[in-house]
């Protein structure tokens, strides 16, 4: 599907030297160990984010002609302008650093990004440990302009750099009993002070059904606005699933595991009545404490109507044929 333009990656990184995939696999070493899901046994109290109304918003900071020159004047396929680099990198949900969206960038500034490895394991033929250089060499990085719709009812338009998650999964070779994909963020309370909070079942985990994960829209992102990701955006590698609420787009991933059963997520643990496994953007199903019918685009006054599947129904609605999307929220 090429409704999204490819950018000339040569402008961003030197011509890649492609590793022989088998050499890489051989070098990758041992299988991902069994990662135990944080089962605190204790039911964490409802999350702060889940207790407050939709968070206060940034004042509009940009006019259309102050956009970053890298993608100057560009818009998404609906004609909506991109949010600015400034907005995208200074208004972040990343609870490992802070629950204050405007404090995350500062608190994450010194988060070390090297060395960084991502293990791909579980029910796969070829378990692999990648470092970020491997990933940048093996997968063609392209630009994808996507809307990001937070469950708190704000949204942005972001020009990501990344590659289809499905390509990485195909390289691992899912076994026939693999039905879901489970993602995990780094767990290191020394580097991520928010992880000292006992309110959540760290590390942050998320999951997708395998067919969702294989959909071309689901990407692993390494950058935005033509630059490598900054820590606050989930560097060095984060998921972006544009038809689901933003919390599914897990940041700073260290583990991707193919599993047989529907995995739990941090948000399902924290407030199962508020955050379901599917979390598809759905204006017809309200959050228990606020409406999902409309949203505020950061940088704009007023509200916009929220679109089913965040405007990507044509590409993804078929994944849910026959499902009750009120029950499977
Ligand atoms: N590890 C981790 N990933 C995360 C979060 C988080 O707190 N921790 N927040 C999620 C939420 S609620 C949203 S809306 C998006 C925000 O992404 P952005 O800050 O790049 O806009 O990241 C998601 N991924
Ligand atoms: Mo969110």
- For the chain, what are the domain ranges? 9-320
CA of 51 to the centre of ligand 1 (A): 17
Taking phi over 0 as left and psi of -120 to 50 as alpha, with beta for the rest, 292 belongs to alpha
- Residue (of 306, 295, 180) closest to 243 by Cα position: 306
Which two structure tokens, joined as six digits, stand for 125? 């033929």
- The reported pLDDT for the residue numbered 73 is 61
Which two structure tokens, joined as six digits, stand for 251? 């940041």
CA angle 175, 177, 182 (to 5 degrees): 85
Which two structure tokens, joined as six digits, stand for 323? 């499902």
**Residue 22 CA to chain centroid, in angstroms?**
28
Counting ligands in written order, which one lies closest to the CA of residue 148?
Answer: 1
pTM of the predicted protein model: 0.82
CA of 204 to the centre of ligand 2 (A): 13
Nearest atom in ligand 1 to the alpha carbon of residue 150 is 14
Residue 99 CB neighbour total at 10 angstroms: 17
pLDDT tens digits, 102-152: 999 999 999 999 999 999 999 999 999 999 999 999 999 999 999 999 999
- Residue (of 86, 94, 95) closest to 58 by Cα position: 86
Nearest atom in ligand 1 to the alpha carbon of residue 239 is 24
Place of tokens 């990184």: 13
CA of 115 to the centre of ligand 1 (A): 22
CA of 311 to the centre of ligand 1 (A): 20
CA of 158 to the centre of ligand 1 (A): 13
If you average pLDDT over every residue of the chain, what do you get?
84
Counting ligands in written order, which one lies closest to the CA of residue 239?
Answer: 1
Nearest atom in ligand 1 to the alpha carbon of residue 234 is 20
CA of 233 to the centre of ligand 1 (A): 8
Burial class (CB in 10 A: 0-12, 13-18, 19+), 325: middle
Which two structure tokens, joined as six digits, stand for 280? 């598809």
Burial class (CB in 10 A: 0-12, 13-18, 19+), 150: buried
Q: Are 160 and 12 within 8 A, CB to CB?
A: no
- Low-confidence residues in the chain, pLDDT < 70: 1-73
**Calpha distance 171→185 (Å, rounded):** 21
DSSP assignment letter at 89 = T
- Residue (of 165, 143, 7, 148) closest to 88 by Cα position: 148
Mutate to test the pocket of ligand 1, among 234, 268, 269 (most ligand atoms within 8 A of CB): 234
Cα 55 to Cα 91, 100, 195, 231, distances in angstroms: 11, 9, 21, 22
Identify the H or E element spanning 296: strand 294-297
Identify the H or E element spanning 88: helix 85-88
Q: For atom 6 of ligand 1, which residue has the closest CA?
A: 94
CA of 247 to the centre of ligand 2 (A): 5
Counting ligands in written order, which one lies closest to the CA of residue 101?
Answer: 1
Q: For atom 18 of ligand 1, which residue has the closest CA?
A: 92
**Calpha distance 160→146 (Å, rounded):** 7
- Could you tell me which residues come within 8 angstroms of residue 87 by beta carbon, excluding any fewer than 6 positions away? 58, 61, 62, 156, 298, 299
Query: Which CATH number is 9-320 given?
Result: 3.90.420.10
Mutate to test the pocket of ligand 1, among 86, 89, 93, 104 (most ligand atoms within 8 A of CB): 93
Q: Which residues line ligand 1 (CB under 6 A)?
A: 92-96, 148, 150, 185, 204, 233-234, 246-247, 249-252
């Amino acid at each position: 599907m090429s409704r999204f333009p490819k950018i000339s990656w040569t402008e961003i990184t030197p011509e890649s030297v492609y590793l022989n995939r088998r050499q890489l696999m051989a070098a990758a070493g041992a299988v991902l160990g069994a990662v135990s899901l944080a089962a605190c046994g204790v039911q964490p109290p409802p999350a702060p984010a889940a207790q407050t109304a939709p968070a206060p918003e940034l004042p509009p900071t940009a006019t259309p002609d102050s956009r970053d020159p890298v993608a100057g004047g560009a818009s998404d396929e609906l004609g909506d302008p991109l949010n600015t680099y400034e907005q995208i990198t200074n208004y972040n949900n990343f609870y490992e650093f802070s629950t204050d969206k405007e404090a995350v960038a500062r608190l994450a500034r010194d988060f070390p990004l090297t060395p960084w490895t991502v293990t791909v394991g579980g029910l796969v033929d070829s378990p692999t440990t990648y470092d970020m250089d491997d990933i940048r060499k093996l997968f063609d990085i392209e630009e994808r302009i996507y809307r990001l719709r937070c469950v708190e009812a704000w949204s942005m338009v972001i020009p990501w750099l990344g590659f289809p998650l499905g390509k990485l999964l195909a390289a691992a070779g899912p076994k026939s009993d693999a039905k879901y994909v489970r993602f995990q963020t780094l767990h290191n309370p020394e580097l991520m002070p928010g992880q000292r909070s006992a309110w959540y079942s760290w590390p942050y985990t998320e999951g997708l059904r395998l067919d969702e994960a294989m959909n071309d829209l689901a990407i692993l992102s390494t950058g935005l606005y033509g630059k490598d990701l900054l820590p606050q955006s989930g560097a060095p590698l984060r998921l972006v699933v544009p038809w689901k609420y933003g919390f599914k787009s897990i940041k700073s991933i260290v583990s991707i595991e193919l599993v047989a059963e529907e995995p739990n997520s941090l948000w399902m643990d924290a407030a199962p009545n508020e955050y379901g496994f599917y979390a598809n953007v759905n204006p017809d199903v309200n959050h228990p404490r606020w409406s999902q019918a409309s949203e505020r685009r950061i940088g704009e006054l007023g509200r916009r109507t929220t679109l089913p599947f965040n405007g990507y129904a044509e590409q993804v609605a078929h994944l849910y044929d026959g499902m009750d999307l009120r029950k499977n929220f």
